[in-house]
Amino acid sequence: MSDQKEKQKTDGKNELIAYVELTNQIRALSSPQVEEIDGEEDYRETLLENFVRIGELARANGRILENYFTPLMDDNRALDGRDVVNLRDFGRAILDARSAESLDQMMVFLQAQRLVQDAETRGDVPVLIRALDDMVAASGAMAVMTLRLYPVSRDFINYRELGLAAAVKLLHYLEPDRFATLGPEEKEAVLINARYVCILFQREDLLGDEETNASDLDTMIRALNLADDPFYREQAPEYDWDYHIFRALQYICLPTEYNNHRKYTAAQLAQIAGYAERLDAFYKEHYETLSAVDSEDLMNLLVYRARYLTGRMPLEAYRDFLREAPSGYAPNDFSYDACILKLLAPIEYIGTLDREHLTKEQENEITGFYRDLILHLHRLPQKGTQMYLLGDLANVIKTYIDVPGGMSFENFCLDLTAAIHPPTYVHVLSVADFTVCLTRHLLKRHPELFVGMPGYDTLEDVLKGTDDIIGFANHAALCHDIGKLFIVETIITYGRPLFDCEFGWIKTHSDIGANLLEQHETTRRYANVARGHHRWFNNGGGYPETYDFDAAPDKVMVAIVECADCMDASTDSVGRSYKTGKTLDDFIGEVQEGAGTRYAPYMAELLLLPEVQSDLRKVLKGGRDENYRKAYRMLEEFFHTEEE
Residue 11 lies in a domain: yes
Q: Which amino acid is at 428?
A: V
Reading phi first (left if > 0) and then psi (alpha if -120 to 50, else beta), residue 592 is in alpha
Predicted model pTM:
0.90
Residue 20 lies in a domain: yes
Q: Residues 200, 136: contact at Cβ < 8 Å? A: yes
Torsion of the alpha carbons at 474, 479, 480 and 481, rounded to the nearest 10 = 140
pLDDT at 23 over 70: yes
Measured distance CA(387)–CA(625) in Å, rounded: 32
Q: Are residues 433 and 557 in the same domain?
A: yes
Top-confidence range, 35-39, 98-102, 411-415? 411-415
pLDDT at 30 over 50: yes
pLDDT at 164 over 50: yes
More confident call, 461 vs 40: 461
- Please compute, for residue 87, the number of CA atoms within 13 A of its CA located in the half-sphere on the CB side: 30
**What is the structure's pLDDT at 388?**
62
Q: Residues 241, 233: contact at Cβ < 8 Å? A: yes
Average per-residue pLDDT for the chain: 89
**What is the structure's pLDDT at 584?**
93
Q: Which of 94, 124, 157 is the last residue of a domain?
A: 94
In order, the DSSP letters of 288-312 are HHHTTTS-HHHHHHHHHHHHHHTTS
Residue 231 lies in a domain: no
pLDDT 10s digits, 352-372: 999 999 999 999 999 999 988
Contacts of 290 (CB under 8 A, 6+ apart): 242, 246, 282, 283
Chain centroid to CA 630: 24
Q: Residues 273, 315: contact at Cβ < 8 Å? A: no
For residue 429, count other CB atoms closer than 10 A to its CB: 24
Q: Which of 94, 123, 156 is the last residue of a domain?
A: 94
Closest to 387 measured CA to CA, from 456, 522, 504, 486: 486
- Say which range, 48-62, 158-172, 609-623, has the weakest mean pLDDT: 48-62
Q: Are residues 589 and 487 in the same domain?
A: yes
Average pLDDT over every residue of 262-287: 97
Q: Are residues 369 and 454 in the same domain?
A: no
Average pLDDT over every residue of 592-606: 97
pLDDT at 312 over 90: yes
In order, the DSSP letters of 48-96 are HHHHHHHHHHHHHHHHHIIIIIHHHT-TTSPP-HHHHHHHHHHHHHHEE
Top-confidence range, 239-253, 319-333, 390-404? 239-253
| Helices and strands (DSSP H and E) totals, the chain | 33, 4
Contacts of 360 (CB under 8 A, 6+ apart): none
Q: Are residues 450 and 593 in the same domain?
A: yes
Measured distance CA(560)–CA(564) in Å, rounded: 6
pLDDT at 8 over 60: no
**What is the structure's pLDDT at 38?**
86
Measured distance CA(12)–CA(87) in Å, rounded: 9
234 CB burial (10 A radius; 0-12, 13-18, 19+)? exposed
Chain centroid to CA 314: 34
β-pairing, 95-96 vs 534-535, is unpaired
Q: Are residues 461 and 551 in the same domain?
A: yes
**What is the structure's pLDDT at 419?**
86
Q: Are residues 451 and 377 in the same domain?
A: no
Residue 283 lies in a domain: no
Owning domain of residue 468: 409-636
**What is the structure's pLDDT at 544?**
95
Backbone angles phi, psi at 102, to 5 degrees: -145, 125
Average pLDDT over every residue of 65-83: 84
Q: Which amino acid is at 538?
A: N
pLDDT 10s digits, 535-591: 999 999 999 999 999 999 999 999 999 999 999 999 886 655 445 678 999 999 999
Average pLDDT over every residue of 153-162: 93
Measured distance CA(191)–CA(259) in Å, rounded: 30
Q: Are residues 354 and 495 in the same domain?
A: no
Angle at 79 between CA 76 and CA 85, to 5 degrees: 145
Measured distance CA(534)–CA(507) in Å, rounded: 9
Q: Are residues 395 and 428 in the same domain?
A: no
More confident call, 621 vs 466: 466
Residue 381 lies in a domain: yes
Q: Residues 434, 616: contact at Cβ < 8 Å? A: yes
pLDDT 10s digits, 376-424: 887 775 444 455 678 888 889 999 999 888 889 999 999 999 888 888 9
End-to-end CA distance of the chain: 65
Q: Are residues 349 and 458 in the same domain?
A: no
Q: Are residues 386 and 455 in the same domain?
A: no
Per-residue pLDDT band for 52 (boundaries 50, 70, 90) equals: confident
Torsion of the alpha carbons at 513, 515, 520 and 526, rounded to the nearest 10 = 60
CA 25 vs CA 192, 358, 425: distances in Å: 32, 44, 21
Average pLDDT over every residue of 139-159: 88
Q: Are residues 432 and 328 in the same domain?
A: no
Q: What percent of the chain has pLDDT over 90?
A: 61
Residue 249 lies in a domain: no
Q: How many domains does the chain have?
A: 3
Closest to 47 measured CA to CA, from 488, 426, 411: 426
Q: Residues 501, 447: contact at Cβ < 8 Å? A: no
CATH at 616:
1.10.3210.10
pLDDT at 1 over 50: no
**What is the structure's pLDDT at 577?**
47
Q: Are residues 512 and 423 in the same domain?
A: yes
Per the DSSP assignment, residues forming a β-bridge with 386 are 101
Q: Residues 501, 538: contact at Cβ < 8 Å? A: no
Average pLDDT over every residue of 45-70: 87
